Structures are given as structure tokens and as C-alpha cells.
Structure 1
């Protein structure tokens, strides 16, 4: 992995709870809240200058801007929700570009698992543990992507903490 282990160790205690909160709020309210996304981005903005050389820090921040612009276009086209686009933008600076292939594979696995778990829980008595969650009542193509996006970033940072450069 290209993300330095030191970077992952420093950001993980702050970002991990936020990633889990993203999964929870998307399951319960079908929303990824702005304060959570801002907090995720803020952790990088605050800690990044201490963890990266300045030029590398600026490149990582540029990833945030690029992903946000692409996310806005995809949201306008109806491809993804606004919260998903904002989360992806806030998560982008944490990802080392050479790890993008690994991240996509990790996301695919987490998405399949999240989808299966959600659909199974939705049609079994498990959903009675949280009967008011909005994600149980969605129809059609709606799925709480934060349930996959949050854990993907969390797992990526955990893997980088152990196997990072």
C-alpha cells in the first residue's frame, strides 16, 4: 500500500468513528449529514500539513476538489445522492492514488456485503431491532450507500495502518 502507515495511524482515531456514523445515519435516515462530511474533511485539513510535505498535501487536497466536482455532476445527472458525493470528496484526500485500484476492489467487496446484509435484514425479523430506520422502507433503486462508503474508508485506513508504506 502506498498510503504511509504513520498517516493512517494518525487519522484513524478521528475518521473511524465518523465513518461508522456515516453508515448509521444513512441506514437510519438515508442521509449523510453535512457536519459529518465537514468533520471528515477537517481532520485531513488540520492534520495533513503535519503528515505530508506541503506539495503532497496540496495534491491530496486537490483530490477533494476534483472528486467534489465530479460528484456534483453525477448528482445532477441522478447517478448518486448528494451525501454520497460529499462523502466521496471528503474521503478523497485520505486515498493515495497508487492505492486506487485496491480501494475500488475493497469498495466492490464491501458494497456487495453491505447490500446483501441490508436486503437480508430488511426481509427478516432483524429489521425489527430498528423498525424506524428509513432504509427499510425504501423502494426501487434506493440504497444507503453510506453503509458501504463509510466502512470502505475505515477498512482502507485500517489496512494502511498495518500494511502501509
Structure 2
């Protein structure tokens, strides 16, 4: 797995940096106990556990890989958190959700893998409430890199 994190001057461990990033992004999103959150993407349930333990909000998680969904679901069930955390395996990701259904859509380390980003963004706007927010954290190339550029960067 590849995890992003927010390293400040006191943070040396990745697990702490990941939680720092979650805290900063959830504050930006304005998440409270009354927020309906959709998490679109991969992972093994870490974000769902964090949201439940820190906010107690309703969380939906959707992804196309049943193994990742099963692992995340098992981790949440082992802690007794299945009450307000819902998991779905779906190929279309979010097209099946009703209009104005969520307050926040999260996509961390996953949107780069979506084949049709334009349709994904349109669906995000459709399923978000009028005051809804999207929060993404992903890697983006600012320019095309050649194979030589990539190899050279590792030799420095």
C-alpha cells in the first residue's frame, strides 16, 4: 500500500502522519456526527475506522475490488462499528446513489485510477447535497515523464 501523510515537525511515523492528514482534510470538509460521507476508493478500512472513532458520522464505502471491501468490512465489524458504516462493491463506483444523498465525497489515493474522471466528477456533483463538499488527495503529474526521467530521478 502507498499512504499519503502530513508530516509536521513532531511527526516521524507514517501512521501518525496519515492520521494528521485525515484530521486536516476532515476539518476542511467540515465533518461532524451529522455528516453523510461517501468514501470512494481502495484501502483496508483505515479511513472508515478513523471517521467512526473521531466523528461518529454515517459512512458509505464503495469500491470495485471485493477483497478490499471484505477486508475493510471485517476490520470494522471486529470493532463493532457496523451500525453506521456501509460497504458496497460496485463497478460504476457512485452512479447508483440517489441525487443529493451525501454531504461529503472523499477520494484518497484512488481517483487517479478512475477511467472516466469526467463522469466521476459529474456523479459527485449529482449525489452531493446543495452544500456538499468533495475532498480528494491524490498524486498528479504536472508533466509527462519519460522513462529516462524516472530512472534519472532515482539515481540522484
Same fold by TM-score, threshold 0.5 exceeded? Answer: no
More helix by share: 1
Report the TM-score when normalising by structure 2.
Answer: 0.27
Report the TM-score when normalising by structure 1.
Answer: 0.26
More strand by share: 2
Higher relative contact order at CA 8 Å, sep ≥6: structure 1 or structure 2? 1
